Amino acid sequence: MHINNKYQTFLEANSFILNIIYNILSFRIYLVTKRMIFQSFLRKRYRFHFYTFSIK
């Protein structure tokens, strides 16, 4: 019983740590994808401006 209880607390601590790591990683991925989307949006806008200027 005691060993099982110890194992349970160990698992809970591990899941807590894994949850923190997962949150950090998902936040990182979110930031990177946001930056990539923003950069592609800027590039498209820039290209659009470039095309309009070249037409004029």
* pLDDT tens figures, 19-55: 999 999 999 999 999 999 888 888 877 776 666 666 6
Is residue 54 a part of any domain in this protein?
yes
Q: What is the distance between the alpha carbons of residues 25 and 42, in angstroms, rounded to a whole number?
A: 25
pTM for the full model?
0.49
Average pLDDT over residues 4-20: 88
Is residue 8 a part of any domain in this protein?
no
Q: Which amino acid is at 14?
A: N
Is residue 38 a part of any domain in this protein?
yes
Task: Specify the 3-state DSSP secondary structure of 2.
Answer: helix
Is residue 48 a part of any domain in this protein?
yes
| Domain range for 37 | 29-56
In this prediction, residue 17 has a pLDDT band, given cuts at 50, 70 and 90, of very high
Residue 53: per-residue pLDDT? 63
Q: Is the pLDDT of residue 1 over 60?
A: no
Query: What sign results for the dihedral spanned by CA atoms 8, 14, 15, 16?
Result: positive
Q: What is the domain count for the chain?
A: 1
Is residue 33 a part of any domain in this protein?
yes
Is residue 21 a part of any domain in this protein?
no
Residue linked to tokens 């110890």: 6
Is residue 18 a part of any domain in this protein?
no
